[in-house]
């Protein structure tokens, strides 16, 4: 086997954007249906989002490479792929924080040929890495919210009830009262660019 076959291919595009709200506004302007598909075309000049409606109406949003703080394009052709415009806009909207301009990274393709969105929270992995697998298995849900200044709040809801076979309040039909829930909360600040941290 040659070394080139073992190497992982670099993505066609890795870019970073620091004005997510502006892109959300631009994409929302061409979203005229709740469930609408779009095509993204990547090039060395930027990203073009194309929306069509029954072949008689077409809209394009041009996101030129100058809009991005980083734009690394290495594809040999112009990749084109479909996205759900509504889902894409909703995803991007979750990263819009009033008064804060966080950086988001786009990467294409991901491991399954998908578009990856990465937000710049350096310690996000720590919010789940130390939780035992038995607790993760009984996790009742997780909630992510972004507050003022880009502070990310990660909340895990975890059952702390005893296993059902030893619970004294289970009746003959198997009814069990609602289990007790513990809230595990993490607060994660956005990653600060070390070069600009002391500019102000």
**What are the structural domains of the chain?**
11-119 (3.70.10.10), 126-190 (no CATH)
Distance of CA 76 to the CA centre of its chain: 27
Output the pLDDT for position 63: 95
For residues 112 and 200, give the distance between their C-alpha atoms in angstroms, rounded to a whole number: 42
In the 8-state DSSP scheme, what is residue 178? P
Question: What's the rounded Cα separation, in Å, for the pair 116 and 96?
Answer: 17
Average pLDDT across the chain, whole number: 75
Q: What is the pLDDT of residues 117-173, one digit of tens each?
A: 887 655 555 555 566 666 555 555 666 666 666 677 777 666 666 655 555 555 555
Task: From residue 97, give the alpha-carbon distance in Å to each of 31, 52, 101, 106, 149.
Answer: 21, 30, 7, 18, 7
- Percentage of residues in the chain with pLDDT exceeding 90? 27
Tokens 């000049």, located at residue: 45
**What is the pLDDT at residue 110?**
84
Cα gap 184→169, rounded to integer Å: 26
Asked whether 17 and 47 are in contact (CB, 8 A), the reply is no
* Helices 20-28, 85-93: crossing angle, 10 deg rounding: 150
- Looking at per-residue pLDDT, the higher value among 90 and 46 belongs to 46
Given this model, what pLDDT does residue 170 score? 52
What is the average per-residue pLDDT within 178-188? Answer: 67
Average pLDDT over every residue of 38-44: 95
Mean pLDDT of the 55-72 span:
92
CA distances from 143 to 11, 61, 171, 184 (A): 30, 32, 33, 10
């Amino acid at each position: 086997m040659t070394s080139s076959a073992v190497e992982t291919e670099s993505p066609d595009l890795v870019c970073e954007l620091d004005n997510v709200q502006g892109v959300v506004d631009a994409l929302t302007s061409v979203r005229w249906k709740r469930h609408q598909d779009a095509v993204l075309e990547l090039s060395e000049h930027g990203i073009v989002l194309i929306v069509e409606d029954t072949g008689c109406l077409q809209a394009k949003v041009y996101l030129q490479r100058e809009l991005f703080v980083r734009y690394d394009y290495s594809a040999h052709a112009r990749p084109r792929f479909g996205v759900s415009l509504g889902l894409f806009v909703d995803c991007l909207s979750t990263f819009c924080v009033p008064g804060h301009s966080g950086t988001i990274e786009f990467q294409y393709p991901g491991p399954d040929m998908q578009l990856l969105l990465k937000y710049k929270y350096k310690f996000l992995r720590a919010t789940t890495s130390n939780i035992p697998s038995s607790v993760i298995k009984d996790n009742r849900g997780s909630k992510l919210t972004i507050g003022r200044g880009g502070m990310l709040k990660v909340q895990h809801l975890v059952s702390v009830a005893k296993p059902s076979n030893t619970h004294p309040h289970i009746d003959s039909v198997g009814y069990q009262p609602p289990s007790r829930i513990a809230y595990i909360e993490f607060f994660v600040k956005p990653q600060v660019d070390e070069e600009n941290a002391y500019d102000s």
